[in-house]
Structure 1
Amino acid sequence: MKNDEPTVGRRTVLRTAVFLGVAAASGLLTVGTEDGAPGAGPGGGSGPGAQSAAGVPGLREQALPERSFRLRPMTAYAPMRPAAVKPAVRTRPILELPAEAAASGGMVLTFDDGPDPRYTPAILDTLARHGVRAMFFVCGEMATENRDLLRRMVAEGHVIGNHTWTHPLIPGLSRPALVSEIGRTSEVVQQTVGEAPLWFRAPYGAWNRAAFEIGAELGMEPLAWTVDTLDWKEPGTPTIISRVLGGAAPGVIVLSHDAGGNRSQSVQAISSYLPQLLARGYRMTLPTLPPR
C-alpha cells in the first residue's frame, strides 16, 4: 500500500485542481475580502482573488465578473415605483368649492346627462362667448355616440365627469352592475380624449357606499351641487334664471342639464344668467382636486 501513496497524492492534487477550475468557470468559487465582497485589486491583478487564482488557468478572468456584478444595480430588489395614489373613500360627496376659491367669488356651472347634439353645442357656444369653463357630467351611452362633443369640451378647457352609462338609480344596482356603469363610462371618455374622468356624480344624487368605493378605485372624487335649477322639469326659462341668480353665492356649484329631454329652456337660460353673474363679480371656475 505504501507504493500507492504517491499515486494517491498526485491524484488528489489533480482532482483538486480540476475542481477549482470547474468551480471558477461556473461562478461557484468566490474569494472574500475583509468586508465580505468578492476580492480583486485594481485591474484584477492583486488581492486575495488574484492570488488564489495563481496556477489555475482562467480563474483570474472568471473572478472579474463577480466584482462587476456587485457594482451593477440589483434591479430584482430595487423598490417598485409607487402606484398612483387613489382618492380616499368618502362617505359624502363634495358640495361646494373650498374656502380659498369661494373667497374670490368662484362658482361652478355643471351640466348633466349629455352630451346631446341638439343642446350641448349651444351651451358650449355661450360659454365660449363669455370665456367661461364648466363641467359636463356625461352618460356613457350619450358620450359614445357624440365623441366629437367630448373632444370639443376638452379643447375648450371644460372638465368631463362621469355620470354612469345609462343614468340608473344606483342603490337599486348590484355591485357588478355598478362597476360596469361607471367603468364603461370612464373607458369611453379615456378612449376619446386621452384621459379618464377625475370626477363622478351619482344620477339623481342617489349615493351609496359602493358608489364612493368604486369611484375612488377608478381615481375619481364625488361631486354633488349646491344650487339645483330643476331645469329637467322644464319649469320655464325665467324660473331657471331666477333659481340660478337667487342661489348665486361664492363657492356654490350649480346643477343644470344639457340632455335627458327637451333642454331648450336650459339653453336660453344660460345665455341670460351667465352675463348677469359675471356682471355681479362672480368668477366661473372649476374645482381643484383635494390633496391625495
Structure 2
Amino acid sequence: MALPIPEQPEACRRENARRFIVSLLPATACTACLLTGQWGWALGIFWTTFFLIGYGSIVPRVRLFGPHVSQLPAEQAAQGQVWITVDDGPDPTTTPLLLDLLDRYQAKAGFFLIGAKAARHPELVREIAQRGHLIGNHSQTHPAGRFWSLRPARMWQEVAGCQQTLTQILGEKPRWFRPPVGHHNLFLAPPLRALGLTMAIWNCRGFDGVIKDPQLILRLIARSLKPGAIILVHDGPANCVEVLGGTLRLLATRGLQAALPPSLQPASPPPRLEPS
C-alpha cells in the first residue's frame, strides 16, 4: 500500500513562497513600464527575464537556480573513475539485461528511477540495489516537457512522491536526484534541501534518448569521455543494451573504471564534490 506524500516542511514552504514573490517582480516592473509609456524598458525587462529563466531552467549544467554536481571528485578522477548513470527505469524488459551487462564488466552504476514505474516493478528496484548499484530519485511521473515550469506544490509532489515510493520499497532514502531532461527551476532547490537530496547532472552523453543509431551515440559519448565524467544513458529504448555495452567497452579500452560517488556509504558525511 502506497504511503501518502508527506507535507512540505514549513521552512521549505516559506522559502518557495519568497521565491514565488521574487519571480513576480519582473512582470510587475514590466507592467509598470508599459503603463507609464516606457516601452524600451518594458521590452528590456521582458527579454532579459525570458533569457535568464529559459537559460537557467533548460540548460542542465547552469547553476542559476541552485547547486548541482556534474563530475566526480578530483580524487576519483585521478584514479580513472567515471560514474555511469542510467535514467528512466525500471523497465521489465531492459533493466535485467543492463544489470547483467554491468555484472559482466564488474561495473557499478547509478539508476535514476521514475517513482510511478518503480511502484509497478518493486522487485526490479530491489534487484538493482541488491546488485550493488546506487538508486536515485528521478521524479514521480517524469513530466519531461513541463518540469522546468512546475510551481512549488507540484514540484514537491514530484520530488517527495518519488522519494516516498523508493524509500517504501528499499527501506532507505535515496540521496541523489536527477531532474527530468536535466531541467530545473527556482522552486526545486528548497525541496531537495528538505529531503536531503543532491542534484546530479552529467557532463558526458550521447543523446540516446533521441538518437537511434548506437554508433553515433557512442561517438558522442567518446568525444566528451574523460576521468571523473558523469555519463548519461537511458533504460528502455530499443538500443539501450547496445549503448551501455559499447560504453563499457569504451571504458575498458581507455583504462577507465565505472564507480559510484562517495555518498554510497550511508554512514559517511555528505561528500564535498568538485564543481564542473
TM-score by length of 1: 0.66
Q: Which whole-Å CA distance do the structure 1 matches of 2:103 and 2:178 have between them?
A: 24
Q: Displacement, 1:279?
A: 3.2
Q: Which whole-Å CA distance do the structure 2 matches of 1:191 and 1:143 have between them?
A: 10
Classify the secondary structure of the residue corresponding to 1:111.
strand
* Selected match of 1:280 from 228, 244, 254: 254
2:113 corresponds to which residue?
138
Partner AA of 1:205 in structure 2: G
1:154 corresponds to which residue?
129
2:11 corresponds to which residue?
none
Q: Displacement, 1:179?
A: 0.8
2:211 corresponds to which residue?
234
Alignment of 1:98-177 (within 5 A): 98-168=73-143, 169-177=146-154
* Selected match of 1:212 from 175, 189, 194: 189
Partner AA of 2:160 in structure 1: G
Q: Which whole-Å CA distance do the structure 2 matches of 1:276 and 1:173 have between them?
A: 38
After superposition, what is the alpha-carbon deviation per residue over 1:65-104, rounded to whole angstroms, capped at 9, x for unaligned? xxxxxxxxxxxxxxxxxxxxxxxx9823111011111011
Partner AA of 1:281 in structure 2: G
Q: Displacement, 1:269?
A: 1.9
Name whichever of 281-290 and 148-157 sits farther off.
Answer: 281-290
Q: Which whole-Å CA distance do the structure 2 matches of 1:194 and 1:121 have between them?
A: 21
Classify the secondary structure of the residue corresponding to 2:262.
coil
Percent identity of equivalent pairs = 34
* Selected match of 2:162 from 185, 204, 209: 185
After superposition, what is the alpha-carbon deviation per residue over 1:206-243, rounded to whole angstroms, capped at 9, x for unaligned? 11222121012101111000012110113311112222
Structure 2 runs not aligned, ≥5 long = 1-62, 264-269
Q: Which whole-Å CA distance do the structure 1 matches of 2:124 and 2:106 have between them?
A: 18
1:268 corresponds to which residue?
242
Count of aligned positions: 201
After superposition, what is the alpha-carbon deviation per residue over 1:141-169, rounded to whole angstroms, capped at 9, x for unaligned? 11100111110111011011101011123
Partner AA of 1:221 in structure 2: T
- Taking only aligned residues, the RMSD between alpha carbons, in angstroms, comes to 1.7
- Cα pair 2:233 2:244 within 8 Å, conserved: no
- Cα pair 1:138 1:160 within 8 Å, conserved: yes
- Cα pair 1:231 1:240 within 8 Å, conserved: yes
Q: Which whole-Å CA distance do the structure 2 matches of 1:241 and 1:171 have between them?
A: 28
- Cα pair 1:107 1:285 within 8 Å, conserved: yes
Classify the secondary structure of the residue corresponding to 2:70.
coil
Larger radius of gyration: 1
After superposition, what is the alpha-carbon deviation per residue over 1:190-214, rounded to whole angstroms, capped at 9, x for unaligned? 1111111100011111112221210
Displacement over 6 Å in runs of 4+: none
- Cα pair 1:107 1:252 within 8 Å, conserved: yes
Q: Which whole-Å CA distance do the structure 1 matches of 2:83 and 2:189 have between them?
A: 22
Q: Displacement, 1:244?
A: 2.1
* Selected match of 1:221 from 195, 198, 206: 198
Partner AA of 1:286 in structure 2: L
Q: Displacement, 1:276?
A: 3.0
Q: Which whole-Å CA distance do the structure 1 matches of 2:184 and 2:262 have between them?
A: 21
Quick one: higher RCO (CA 8 Å, sep 6+), 1 or 2?
2
Classify the secondary structure of the residue corresponding to 2:216.
helix
Structure 1 runs not aligned, ≥5 long = 1-88
Q: Which whole-Å CA distance do the structure 2 matches of 1:226 and 1:93 have between them?
A: 12
- Cα pair 1:91 1:212 within 8 Å, conserved: yes
Q: Displacement, 1:188?
A: 1.1
Matching of residue 257 in structure 1 with residue 234 in structure 2:
yes
TM-score by length of 2: 0.69
Q: Displacement, 1:109?
A: 0.5
Change (3 A) 1:122 1:170: same
